Amino acid sequence: MPDRDASDPSSDSRPGAAGARDAHFDDAAARETGFDARADRPRRDPARCDRSRLGPAHSDAARPDPAPRGATRSGAAIGNETGALALLRLLAAGGASAARRALLDACGGASAALAAGAPAWARAELSAQQIARLRGPADEALWRSAGWCADADRRLLDWLARPGRQLIAWNDPDYPALLRRAPNPPLALFVAGEPGRLWHPSVAVVGSRSPTPAGTANAADFARALARSGLAVTSGLAAGIDAAAHRAALEAGGLTVAVLGTGPDLAYPRRHADLLERIAAEGVAVSEYPPGTEARPAHFPARNRIVAGLSLGALVIEAAERSGALITARLAAECGREVFAVPGSIHNPLARGCHRLIREGAGLVESAAEVAAALAPVAAELADGLRRRLGAPIDGGHAAVIQAGQDDPSPVSGDSDPPDFADPDYQSLWNALGFDPTGMDELVHRTGLTTAELSSMLLVMELEGRVSAQHGRYFRNR
């Protein structure tokens, strides 16, 4: 995360620059619901709006439950041109997103929401300007008014035609549970990579755009150890600490998530284009802006709220007193997430932001093991929620999600007897896996299951501690 610098659009750390955050994460309520996707909730007819759901108020604090298991996946719901362009128009309407989220929930999808017309839009409390934009043509003027490129519709369809590219709406079952419960979650996510990876327990590793050599080394060391412990490393692809954390996680064979302040096809800074391409192939890159969208100053504080919302906690490595990393830390705290900071020399100006966070209550940490130990219970809770979302009937007690207290953990130990899965598909996948890394294509061949099915099942097994992944290949832990 960059420090304040007039030459860097991500450096704006003025009060309020992170955008609207009226509502706050209700930690007690989230723990009570336990990330439950409520798979037995009845589905709505996507062709009609449920007018009873368009109440008099739709604040950021009033969040609908995640979509039920069995609801249409993003590849089917928004992978078609009509649905994708309809969602793009909803995004281009701009303004507060709470009303548009309520409209999507009531109508079941973007196409139905547009077809519902102005009366339904008014009942959802869209503003007059939002309604005017939805009534107008989907043309160059609309895209430019949203701050996008003039051919945003064509760029989106071209981008979606590439393998591993998806557009996930707020009401999609793949929308990440943690982000759903954050203040002001995005209406949609443009995802390069497997969207199920956004459910993986992660830590936001952030800091200065111009770190000291020691800060860069610390970022790499922490990210490498966190990745080996089973946590994903989330950051913003910025220069300095962000890039060091992403690269170290990839080098460790772990998962990293890049949240962009541009469209999902553009790297900022541009010299990180190769890094972005690698993350999209081996991890996941995500943006709330459509393809072709260039960097703007306001995008980066907004990006920080997604970095915080996707993560179980935020770790600040090095940061000046006025740093974008402190925005991420503050947003993480507002989400009810843990905040950690690495102390430094009193003579280092890039340690002052970390010292300020520690004075304000952030956890002082000296090793990744301390971070993993603090987050292990919450990560296990997230794993339980993911199993419920997928309806994964994995028998027996589940192993620890994170090897807390170990910077370089050994594989999870367990019973020597092979597990007996109630679901035959999980049993087939387990039988197809060995202790040698196996690629996705080979697993598809061995099991007869689709790549999408296997990706979700493997993620559950990873969170259970049964399976590990390195460089896109999977193998048993025991």
pLDDT at 478: 61
Compute the radius of gyration of the chain from its Cα atoms: 21
**140-192 pLDDT per residue, tens:** 999 999 999 999 999 999 999 999 999 999 999 889 989 999 989 999 999 99
**Distance (Å, rounded) from C-alpha 449 to C-alpha 434?**
17
Q: What is the pLDDT of residue 469?
A: 78
Whether the predicted pLDDT of 403 surpasses 50: no
Strand order in the sheet with 438-439: 438-439, 473-476, 467-470
Q: What is the mean pLDDT of residues 397-410?
A: 39
Instruction: Give the three-state DSSP class for 199.
Output: helix
| pTM, entire model | 0.73
**Amino acid code (one letter) for 136:** G
> Is residue 369 within 8 Å of residue 407, measured between CB atoms?
yes
pLDDT of res. 438? 87
Q: Calculate the alpha carbon distances from 169 to 77, 112, 176, 434 in Å.
A: 9, 13, 11, 36
Tokens standing for 448? Answer: 């007869």
Exposure class string for 336-350: b at 16+ Cβ within 10 A, else e: bbbbbbbebeeebeb
More confident call, 267 vs 464 = 267
Residue 391 — very low, low, confident or very high, per pLDDT cuts 50/70/90?
Answer: low
List Cβ neighbours of 399 (8 Å cut-off, separation of 6 or more): 412, 414, 464, 465, 466, 477
**Whether pLDDT at 193 is above 60:** yes
Average pLDDT of the chain is: 80
Position 384 scores a pLDDT of 66
User: DSSP readout, 412-458?
Assistant: PP--SSPP--SSHHHHHHHHH--SS-EEHHHHHHHH---HHHHHHHH
Residue 456's pLDDT band (boundaries 50, 70, 90)? confident
